[in-house]
Chains A and B, each alone.
Chain A
């Protein structure tokens, strides 16, 4: 990441909106996210988290507003080389080995050589299963492989769409360990989740409901704002007050 880029926000949304007919999936969302931090995008299923990530990565065209990543307006094909994206589904090729999957995505990002592939597999502790056919891996191992595919090009910005869904508590702890290590090394991470107990692992949170960001800030700031000691209660209370003010 260039120094000019590092000076500005890593990710910016300006009046971002996405409509599917009558349904407003993302509704007038604006924010600036500083680099090297972990941001939690929290909200129930169907609240618009995935659509927001797709708008930020340029995979979907906004109905209004625009997004920037590392100072570059999205969509930008060239800028995708600086972005990692772990989809909600595993998004890996089950007939290929773990090594072949990571090597394939490395090539798609323009990364050559075996070393980045080996490192990405080592980060997610799949080095010993490199030659295993992905379809034979356990659910947790497939999620780890999916993460390795998103990390292989060492992107400065990483979007993780529900990365911990369906994985056991031990692996979840490991995942958050990876995320923290990546952020410490300069990666900006957006993690979407509908599990509130993951919220406190993030540096900052954005509560999403019906396509709108209804609250943002640190976990403590949101708890204070809602007047509760519990983030789940805070989400419900802030959601109710937003509905009442509409």
Chain B
């Protein structure tokens, strides 16, 4: 082993990275930003306040329990209001004026069964609400004499309470991985176009900027379509392969249940992919190497991963971050996919309409600014 050669290699690596200022900046800034954001979410976020609606079927005993519950929720910044019946309670959940509905039974003979109804699209967010209600309910019943501790039954407005964590995680996963791979493929390909001299040459032809962006989008969306088709088939499908010889029976596919149309889920992801293509073209303007395209991931994709309900429920994110959540395209894709997968939403559901419109708007916005980055003065 030659110290001369080792020294030369060491110096070359250091000199190269030292002169690659964007890489150097991202090397230090990206981990600081990502770990800072993560810490902020974990420390400042958490179970959100419970805004409950309550249907009291228990009479006087229920009034005492309601009062104690109200005090408990208000102490944590939440609220409780009584409504006449379960239909009104469900409407409050639907209108997003309540985060949870509590139904006290009308005939509490023996151990009462209390129904706690959550929205149902985001199971981990629902679990936070449920846990807070459970704690408060047990405290309330303990303070009321002559009533046994209740049994709590969880129900959801949309979908069904499921032990399968994939039920609400699968839509987020499909959205995120499509976004990630389409961005990466487009960013790297367009960077090659910029640095390989072909964009310069292309700009010396009568081709327009819009033609380049639309042509690129069509090309990459074809592969996005194939990718989404394979991913959805894998997530939603489940094929049992019978035992063959010494090979035992096994299943292919994740077998996640969907209440809605797979075609509609496909449309949501396709809208997201259109935006990812334009984002890749746009960000390739600021990269000189393929490494730099990858280095944008912690700055552009990781915050979306953390703030779009993929891992942390959006409702549990700190208040100060909520405005940023509203501008994350992935947030609308994850919500749209959950609307389809869990709620079984079709195009008449306003929440899904909003998600699709926002995703289409984002795609048009990034396509416009991407085309502006392709100038005749490309060198």
Contacts and interface: CB of A to CB of B under 8 A. Distances in A.
A156 interface: no
A15 interface: no
Contact of A61 (B196, B200, B203, B377): B377
Contacts of A58: 376
A80 B198 contact: no
Given A90-B197, A91-B196, A59 B379 contact: yes
Interface in A107-137: 108-110
B206 A59 contact: no
Interface stretch (A6-14, A81-89, A179-187, A230-238): A81-89
Interface in B339-379: 376-379
Closest 8 CB pairs of A and B: A89-B197, A91-B197, A108-B205, A91-B201, A85-B204, A80-B206, A81-B206, A108-B207
B197 A57 contact: no
A21 to B, nearest CB: 15
A93 interface: yes
A78 to B, nearest CB: 6
A90 B195 CA distance: 11
Interface in B164-212: 196-198, 200-208
Contacts of B197: 87-91
A138 to B, nearest CB: 18
Contacts of B201: 85, 87, 91, 105, 149
Contact of A59 (B198, B207, B377): B377
A48 interface: no
Contacts of A75: 376
9 contacts: A59-B378, A75-B376, A80-B206, A87-B197, A87-B200, A88-B197, A91-B197, A91-B201, A109-B205
A92 B202 CA distance: 10
A59 B376 contact: yes
Interface of B: 196-198, 200-208, 376-379
Given A59-B200, A81-B206, 19 more contacts: A58-B376, A59-B204, A59-B376, A59-B378, A60-B376, A60-B379, A61-B376, A61-B377, A75-B376, A80-B205, A80-B206, A83-B204, A85-B201, A87-B197, A89-B197, A92-B198, A108-B205, A109-B205, A149-B201
Contacts of A93: 196, 198
Interface residues of A, number: 26
A108 B379 CA distance: 20
Contacts of B207: 108
A109 B198 contact: no
B370 to A, nearest CB: 19
A105 B207 CA distance: 10
Interface string A128-164: 0000000000000000000001000000000000000
Overall SS of chain B's interface:
loop
Contacts of A54: 379
Contacts of A109: 205-206
A57 B377 contact: no
A77 interface: yes
Which of A57, A92, A108 lies at the interface centre, i.e. has the most chain B CB atoms within 10 A of its CB?
A: A108
A203 B196 CA distance: 32
Contacts of A57: 204
Nearest to A93: B198
A105 B203 CA distance: 11
Interface in A39-85: 54, 57-61, 75, 77-78, 80-81, 83, 85
A57 B198 CA distance: 15
A105 B200 contact: no
Contacts of A61: 376-377
A80 B378 CA distance: 16
Nearest to B212: A108
Contacts of B202: 108
Contacts of B200: 59, 87, 91
A59 B203 contact: yes
A105 B178 CA distance: 31
B120 to A, nearest CB: 47
A54 B377 CA distance: 9
